[in-house]
Amino acid sequence: MKFRPLHDFSALAIVVVVLTGLTAFTAKAADSKATTAPDFTLKSRDGGNLRLAEQRGNIVLVNFWASWCGPCREELPKFEEMYQRYQDLGFVVLGVNVDDDPAKAEILLSDISISFPVLFDPKGEVSRLYDISAMPTTILIDRDGNTRLVHKGYKSGDEVKYEKALKLLLRE
């Protein structure tokens, strides 16, 4: 086969686009390296203790929230809907309340019906462990215990992003 010089740049452009796409994909894959989610044990609303490591094998959404946080109040029912829809597939939601007094959380929870576990972090130890700097903050952890998504804040529609990420993890 003889080498023929390109007189038009369309073939060259295709090669450049393909290589650029591969480079972008490789960079994205490198950036999305999962890190092991720090383990913790917290008192739950039902009175027992719950340890994150006990959830290995499940996909876990950990949501840090506070009673004084307006977006948290809006977001919690969205997580309940996701929990109801996907719990039979190995999806768990853990709501970690960061109020200094669990009674404050109970007041908010008397208005919002949720069935997923609510955990209390009144001293902020787990919040510091996860370097929580915004309310709410949501973390999605894969079946192997690796952090796969961290999202700070909430605006209407963010739950679509969480559900899309969850569906991808369910396929792994």
**pLDDT per 10-residue tile (average), the chain, 172 residues:** 46 36 33 79 96 98 97 96 97 98 95 96 97 97 96 95 96 92
Q: What pLDDT score does 19 carry? A: 36
What tokens appear for 74 in the block? 């809006």
In angstroms, the CA 27 to CA 32 distance is 9
In angstroms, the CA 131 to CA 27 distance is 25
Q: What pLDDT score does 33 carry? A: 58
In angstroms, the CA 98 to CA 67 distance is 8
Q: What pLDDT score does 12 carry? A: 36
Name the pairing type of β-strands 146-152 and 35-36. Answer: antiparallel
In angstroms, the CA 152 to CA 109 distance is 22
Residue 82 CB contacts under 8 Å (≥ 6 apart), including other chains: 61, 91, 93, 159, 162, 163, 166
CA distances from 88 to 92, 95, 164, 170 (A): 9, 18, 17, 11
Q: Domain 35-171: which CATH class?
A: alpha beta
**pTM of the predicted protein model:** 0.80
In angstroms, the CA 13 to CA 5 distance is 14
Q: What pLDDT score does 24 carry? A: 34
